[in-house]
Amino acid sequence: MTRRVVVTGVGLVSSLGIGTEVNWDALCAGDSGIASITRFDTTDHSVRIAGEVKGFDPLQFVAKKDVKKMDIFIQYAIAAADFAVTDANLVIDPETAARVGVFIASGIGGFSTIEREHKALLEGGPRRLSPFFIPASIINLAAGQVSIRFGAKGPNLATCTACSASAHAIGDAFEIIKRGDADVMIAGGSEAAITPLGVGGFAAMRALSTRNDEPTRACRPFDRDRDGFIIGEGAGVVILEEYERAHARGASIYAELVGYGMSGDAFHVTAPSETGDGAARAMQAALASAACDPSKVNYVNAHGTSTPYNDKLETLAIKRVFGDHAHELAVSSTKSMTGHLLGAAGGLEAGITALAVKRQMIPPTINLENPDPECDLDYVAGSTRNQAIDYALSNSFGFGGTNAVLLFKRCDG
């Protein structure tokens, strides 16, 4: 008998706010979290805007003595996990601990800690390095710290697959539950790369928007005037739970996760395949894994980065997968409001997609004012739409041609 997997909790932290409901409300209002960077002096930087998390107090989530032991990306992961666990009313006790796992991804990890400690090394030598440097910055310590916090003793993992990382984490956690290696997984991703090195590095690639004087209008997926993505930060964590267990304890269910697809472009280190082949095959794999006919899908939460190549090639890939039905789909990019959370994007957007399925509401793509002729689908421009959603895809594509797609289904039971 196939084990079903459902989403019973969602935890979101982004530039739109700290907490799931504040994020959802802002998304539905079409708000933008993009603003001028405050973390460091941007005078010499060509890019001076980002999606910073505002007003985050780690002491609300982490003991004072432990704050210095964790990079902020770990703190965001703990906060999002806190929200998700509370939302799910999940209790982890000694009897169930070994059946609850954690799978939290990051694309970059502790950039701010690495930069700080490198400066200490240059200025004072190796004796100036913090003993907490390594465990504060390595990627798997987000999952490690979350497992310690909640006493989750099941599978404990992390992925680092660029902008697909947390979609891979959720998809692999889904498979772990399906095959019976855990009953519950705390899964998602976290990122905090708004640092001089992070922003400067992406700017050097000319991947970022330079619309510095209009930050709230800078991220404009599918618009002909788009000029690059906006770095965002934060975390998205969901509680995945075996259906019978969730049903038995009376858990509220957002959606059922029914499909997961992966692929590789084998094309270029940063650019997507020119035919949209990799993205299309990942979507097809997600649909096939659930035996879902493409015509049943109502909504796609697009990768939608606001870069010239991604948006037109993702559009092309959707057309390849859905054929004539592509023009009946609702497609939106919530990155237009949150910015691009890199390795945490898939976790944030999986949570948003589960909320959309539960509430039968589709957050918009904002700033879509002059549609690109090569981007000719229904992108839910401007305002939230009430719409029936039976199946929804969440797309995540990353550098190196790594692709991950999650398929959610409405679950009334």
Domains and CATH numbers, the chain: 7-248 (3.40.47.10), 257-409 (3.40.47.10)
Quick check: 199 pLDDT over 90? Answer: yes
Instruction: Write down the pLDDT at residue 270.
Output: 79
* Strands annotated E in 143-268: 156-157, 184-191, 234-242, 255-264
Identify the three-state secondary structure at position 113.
helix
Mean pLDDT of 331-343: 98
Quick check: 226 pLDDT over 80? Answer: yes
Quick check: 21 pLDDT over 90? Answer: yes
Mean pLDDT of 210-230: 98
CA-based nearest residue to 84, from 2, 173, 163, 165:
173
Taking all residues of the chain, what is their mean pLDDT, rounded to a whole number? Answer: 97
Q: Residue 413: pLDDT band by 50, 70, 90 thresholds?
A: low
Dihedral (C-alpha) 109, 113, 119, 121: value to the nearest 10 degrees?
Answer: -90
Q: Which residues pair with 209 in a beta bridge?
A: none
Instruction: Write down the pLDDT at residue 293.
Output: 98
Q: What is the DSSP letter of 98?
A: G
d(CA 180, CA 127): 47
Q: Residue 274: pLDDT band by 50, 70, 90 thresholds?
A: confident
Distances (CA, A) of 386 to 286, 316, 359, 361: 25, 26, 9, 5
d(CA 200, CA 202): 6
pLDDT per residue over 251-260, tens digit each?
999 999 999 9
pTM reported for the whole predicted model: 0.98
Instruction: Write down the pLDDT at residue 272.
Output: 83
Instruction: Write down the pLDDT at residue 1.
Output: 67
Mean pLDDT of 146-160: 98
Cα 233 versus chain centre, distance = 10
Please list the active-site residues: 163, 303, 340
